[in-house]
Amino acid sequence: MTSTVLTARPRGLALMLHWRRIRFVVLFGLGIGLLLSPMWKAGLFTILTRFVMLGLVAMLVFGLFEQWPKKLPRWIERWVLQVLGIMVAMPISTAIIYQMATAPGAPHFYQVEARMQGFALLCGFSTFIAPWVALGSLVRQKEALARHQALAFDLERSELERQALDARLRVLQTQVQPHFLFNTLANVQELVDTGSPQAPAVLRSLVAYLRAAVPRLDQAAPTLGQELELVRAYLELMHMRMPDRLQFTIDADQAALGLHCPPMAVLTLVENAVRHGIDPGEEGGRIEIHAERIGDRCQVRVRDTGVGLRTEGQGLGTGLSTLRERLRLTFDESATLRVTARQPKGVAVELDFPAREAA
């Protein structure tokens, strides 16, 4: 998902004197001044300056009542206060502009008919158009606020969905960890109970394996290479328990080792092959693991020559169903897990998922 940063809305003078507002007011004032300049006898510069000044005054009044007072009585809306404030400010500001433009000792503008006509025209036009521009700005402001809130809600919902997904993956992962560890400890206990001379060596291998494996069990985004290291350690441990009945090979494409792999995904497939394929058979069997990257996909194949699929529940336990759920949560519907029977015996499992570089 592409992340979007929501910037904080400016307040105080930063809002009243925002550069976008100033740019709009200046351009709008210049445009209106040019449009109405044929109606004024004064020079073009004079009329443009006066329209821009009135626009800036309206902008300041709009921004002032946008924030002050902080609380209003229930019987009046803030936008009403802004529009009324602009309507009152326009004639007062026009009178101040004309008075400031009067030379010292000259008659007041309201004493000169020509200037009074210009004042009336400028005052009436600004008092009429400024509130409508303010209303248009308020509408756009409401729309922008609605879009901002909708985007904020979408981002918050996405974050909550991501957190829920991570929590669910953690739950599923914790379901796998005890299953694997308890099975391994049960194998060691069996060797000890039967007095097998291999028990001390297997126990040492188990301790070495756990020291390497346990810190990675909670890793959020392990690589396929790290996953295969765990698989090799597990198979070496199982090989010591049944050296005459288990052989294995691991073949991995170098380009696939750095890809993201769901925690304990391949290990689940291999453990199922040992537990439901190799261990039940008197002759044991061989496990072959092959991983490669093909374009934007990664494929992992685990094949064994064990007893094969059995009728009662397919003989594969709950590990694969849990793995399917973890794959769905991690990759949506873009990952597949296929289980097929091999001839004359054995099982082939193919895991196919998007090739994503680990973070």
The span from the CA of 130 to the CA of 55, in Å, is 8
CA distances from 172 to 260, 319, 330 (A): 18, 10, 12
One-letter amino acid at 223 equals: T
Residue for token digits 């594969």? 316
CA separation for the pair 298, 291 (Å, rounded): 7
Please return the burial class of 325, using the count of CB atoms within 10 Å of its CB with bins 0-12, 13-18 and 19+. middle
State the pLDDT at residue 170: 56
Residue 316 pLDDT > 80: no
Confidence of residue 36 (pLDDT cuts 50, 70, 90): confident
Q: Cβ-count burial of 13 within 10 angstroms (0-12 exposed, 13-18 middle, 19+ buried)?
A: exposed
Q: What does the alpha-carbon distance between residue 6 and residue 155 come to, in Å, rounded to a whole number?
A: 10
> Does the pLDDT value for residue 4 go beyond 50?
no
Instruction: Quote the pTM value.
Output: 0.51
Q: What is the DSSP letter of 310?
A: B
CA 282, CA 134: separation in Å to the nearest integer?
87
Q: 94: how many CB neighbours lie within 10 A of its CB?
A: 25
Mean pLDDT of the 315-329 span: 72
CA angle 316/176/179 to nearest 5° reads 75
pLDDT at 90 over 90: yes
Domains, the chain: 13-157 (no CATH), 196-354 (3.30.565.10)
The structure tokens listed for 105 are: 């000792």
Average model confidence (pLDDT) across the chain: 82
CA separation, residue 43 to residues 48, 112, 277 (Å) = 9, 18, 97
